Amino acid sequence: MSQHQLPQEFYPLMEELQAVDFVLVELTLYLDTHPNDTAAIQQFNEMAYYRHQLVPQIEQYYGPLQQFGNSYSGYPWNWNQSPWPWQL
Amino acid sequence: MWIYEKKLQYPVRVSTCNPMLARFLIEQYGGADGELSAALRYLNQRYSIPDEVIGLLTDIGTEEFAHLEMIATMVYKLTKDATPDQMKAAGLGDHYVNHDNALFYHNASGVPWTASYIQAKGDPIADLYEDIAAEEKARATYQWIIDMSDDPDLNDGLRFLREREVVHSQRFREAVEILKEERDKKKYF
Ligand SMILES: [Fe+2]
């Protein structure tokens, strides 16, 4: 299967999303055991907002990051477009 | 339900084709203290654990699947260009005759994954103590693999995974304290 050529701009954006999501995973697990930490919740919501800004920028190069309707599709259906994460 | 995201939790790079390292890494794919065991253990314990810690088991269990995908990516990248001869020289001849270069849920010695690696006791303290022990064993396994690996790119990803075990262990310890506090409240009021 031929792989879709990704532009250089894609790579720093994907790393940025991995970094943002790392903060979100860490805050999620922390809040699971510290549910009353207001400052952490504020940081969580700020990062969640930033994530929502970042995702469409990545999807314009890479196609949908999620499916079942969590991302819009291009035409033709571009969910199955390579490279998949382990092929990057 | 679960939603897949087309992205690794942390970037995975390897320096060279190295089926020997892949063979060691398979321990964390289908071994007793590996990521498959972790994910299935926590997600299965959720149904009988007190409500206070269901969220934590759900989130850590979900993160373990992201780790499973990172290990799979490492194994894939270390073996995708390996010839049958290289597989055999790395001790993966037994794997190759059964699976070619496909991944499979077995440990470094080729023993297939089994549900007897994990437990659900229905007793929240027993379950959480097992989870803490599982995280410590996974952390130690990552350390032993790092000690044997001479691939700096691979080791970067392995160090990330080792640190995640430390964080998970810490969160499970906090969950035990939360349950103890709840129990003591019921006793005295
Ligand atoms: Fe873990």
- Residues B81-91 have pLDDT tens digits of 999 999 999 99
A3 C-alpha to ligand 1 centroid (Å): 33
Residue A67's contacts (CB-CB under 8 Å, 6 or more residues apart) are A79, B3, B4
Q: Is the pLDDT of residue B141 over 80?
A: yes
The structural domains of chain B, with segments of one domain joined by +, span 19-180
Q: Is the pLDDT of residue B187 over 80?
A: no
Residues of A in contact with B63 (CB under 8 A): 25, 29
Q: B residues 67-106 near A, CB within 8 Å?
A: 69, 72-73, 76-77
Contact assignment for B6 to A62 by CB distance below 8 Å: yes
A29/B167 touch (CB, cutoff 8 Å), yes or no:
yes
User: In chain A, which ranges are continuous DSSP H helix?
Assistant: 10-33, 38-62
DSSP tag of A66: B
pLDDT score recorded for residue B185: 85
- In whole angstroms, give the CA distance from residue B56 to residue B6: 23
Between residues 3 and 62 of chain A, which touch chain B (CB distance below 8 Å)? 14-15, 17-18, 21-22, 25-26, 28-30, 32-34, 62
User: The complex's ipTM?
Assistant: 0.96
> How large is the average pLDDT for residues B137-156?
98
Q: What is the pLDDT of residues B52-107, one digit of tens each?
A: 999 999 999 999 999 999 999 999 999 999 999 999 999 999 999 999 999 999 99
> Quick one: average pLDDT of B120-132?
97
Confidence (pLDDT) at B188: 66
Percentage of chain A lying above the pLDDT 70 cut: 98
Tokens describing residue A33: 């055991």
Question: Would an 8 Å CB–CB cutoff place B62 in contact with chain A?
Answer: no
Sign of CA dihedral B144, B148, B149, B150: positive
Q: Count of CB atoms within 10 A of residue A66's CB? A: 15
pLDDT value at residue B133: 98
pLDDT above 70 (res B181): yes
- Mean local confidence (pLDDT), A51-72: 97
Predicted local distance difference test score (pLDDT) of residue A2: 62
Q: Assign domain B19-180 to a CATH class.
A: mainly alpha
Higher-confidence residue of B135 and B188: namely B135
Report the pLDDT value the prediction gives residue B184, as an integer from 0 to 100. Answer: 87
Given a cut of 90, is residue A86 above it in pLDDT? yes
Q: Residue A34 and residue B112: Cα distance in Å, rounded?
A: 38
Helix (H) or strand (E) holding B147: helix B124-148
By the 8 A CB rule, do B19 and B86 touch? yes
CA distance B35 to B65: 7
Cα–Cα distance, A16 to A22 (Å, whole number): 10
Q: Is A76 on the interface with B (CB under 8 A)?
A: no
User: Contact B67/B35 with Cβ under 8 angstroms?
Assistant: yes
Q: List the one residue out of B108, B109, B120, B104 whose CA is nearest residue B44.
A: B120
Task: Output the pLDDT for position A3.
Answer: 74
Name the more confident of A22 and A3: A22
**pLDDT confidence of residue B150:** 95
The per-residue pLDDT for B189 is 55
For residue B136, which phi and psi values (nearest 5 degrees)?
Answer: -65, -40
Q: Whole-angstrom distance between the N-terminal and C-terminal Cα of chain A?
A: 14
Q: Is the pLDDT of residue B177 over 70?
A: yes
Q: How confident is the model at residue A85 (pLDDT cuts 50, 70, 90)?
A: very high
Find the helix packing angle between B35-45 and B54-79, rounded to 10°.
160
